[in-house]
C-alpha cells in the first residue's frame, strides 16, 4: 500500500510505503513518482524479489529503521540512465541463496569456477548505478553474504558526478564499493569492511580506455580479505585521511 501526501509544488509529492506491501509496493510508488517526488519507506522489513528502479529526480529514503531484504539474483535497487537521484537512510540486505557469475545482470551465466585466463568480472552490485549522473548515496547500510564470491555491494558503472557518503557496506565476496569506468565521484566517510576489498576503482572490460576517477576521503576500510583501497589504472585527485587496517 502506498499513501500520497501533497506538499508545495516545488517540493513535489511524498509517496509513503508500508512494509506489508513489500518490494511490490515500493515498485508501485517508484512507477508513479516523477522528478521532485520522494518515495519514503516507513519503518519495518520489506521483502522483495524484484529490482527497484529509481527514476530521474526522485529521492528514495528510509524513515527510521527501514530494511529491504532482497532474495533474488540481481540488483535490489538500481539507477539506470537517470540523473539527480538520492538514495538515503535505509538498509539493503541480500538474502539470495545463489548468485551466478556474469558481467551484467541480464547476461547469460559464465563458467564456474572461473577458468584460467578468464578476467571478466561482475560489473553490477546489490545496489547499482549504471550510466547515471548526479546520484547521491547517503547513510545507506548494504549487507551481503561473503559466500557469494561474484556479488559486489555498491557499484557505479559508467556513472558521473556522484557521491557516496556515510554508508556502511560489508560482507561481500566482491568489493564492498566498486567504481567501474566512473568519473568525478566522491567517496567519503564510509565504513567498508568484511569483503574481498573495501573500495576498488577499475575500468570496465567494455570501455577499457575509460578509467575511474574519484575523491576518496575519511573512509574506514578494514577486515577485508584483499585491499582496503585499490586503484587499477584509475586515479584519485584527493586521497586523504582514510583509515585502513587488518586487510
What is the residue-level pLDDT of the chain in tens, covering all 247 positions? 566 554 444 579 999 999 999 999 999 999 999 999 999 999 999 999 999 999 999 999 999 899 999 999 999 999 999 999 999 999 999 999 999 999 999 999 999 999 999 988 999 999 999 999 999 999 999 999 999 999 999 999 999 999 999 999 999 999 999 999 999 999 999 999 999 999 999 999 888 788 999 999 999 999 999 999 999 989 998 999 999 999 9
Q: What does 69-126 look like in DSSP terms, one character per residue?
A: EE-SSS-SEEEES-EEEEEES-EEEE--S-----SSTTSPPPPSSPPTT-------EE
Q: What is the largest CA-CA distance in the chain?
A: 59
Whole-prediction pTM: 0.94
Amino acid at each position: 500500500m502506498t499513501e500520497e501526501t501533497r506538499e508545495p509544488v516545488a517540493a513535489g509529492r511524498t509517496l509513503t510505503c508500508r512494509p506489508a506491501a513489500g518490494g511490490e509496493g515500493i515498485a508501485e510508488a517508484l512507477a508513479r513518482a516523477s522528478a521532485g517526488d520522494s518515495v519514503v519507506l516507513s519503518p519495518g522489513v520489506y521483502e522483495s524479489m524484484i529490482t527497484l528502479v529509481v527514476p530521474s529526480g526522485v529521492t528514495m529514503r528510509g524513515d527510521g529503521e527501514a530494511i529491504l531484504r532482497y532474495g533474488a539474483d540481481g540488483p535490489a535497487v538500481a539507477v539506470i540512465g537517470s540523473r539527480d537521484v538520492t538514495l538515503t537512510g535505509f538498509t539493503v540486505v541480500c538474502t539470495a541463496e545463489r548468485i551466478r557469475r556474469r558481467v551484467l545482470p541480464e547476461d547469460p551465466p559464465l563458467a564456474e569456477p572461473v577458468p584460467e585466463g578468464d578476467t571478466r568480472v561482475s560489473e553490477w552490485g546489490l545496489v547499482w548505478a549504471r550510466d547515471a549522473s548526479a546520484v547521491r548515496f547517503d547513510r545507506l547500510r548494504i549487507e551481503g553474504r561473503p559466500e557469494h564470491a561474484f556479488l559486489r555491494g555498491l557499484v557505479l558503472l559508467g556513472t558521473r558526478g556522484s557521491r557516496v557518503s556515510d554508508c556502511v557496506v560489508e560482507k561481500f565476496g566482491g568489493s564492498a564499493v566498486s567504481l567501474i569506468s566512473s568519473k568525478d565521484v566522491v567517496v567519503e566517510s564510509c565504513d567498508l569492511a568484511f569483503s574481498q576489498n573495501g573500495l576498488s576503482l577499475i575500468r570496465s572490460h567494455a570501455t577499457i580506455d575509460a578509467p575511474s576517477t574519484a575523491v576518496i576521503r575519511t573512509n574506514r576500510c578494514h577486515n577485508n580479505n584483499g585491499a582496503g583501497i585499490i586503484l587499477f589504472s584509475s586515479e584519485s585527485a584527493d586521497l586523504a585521511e582514510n583509515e585502513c587496517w587488518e586487510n
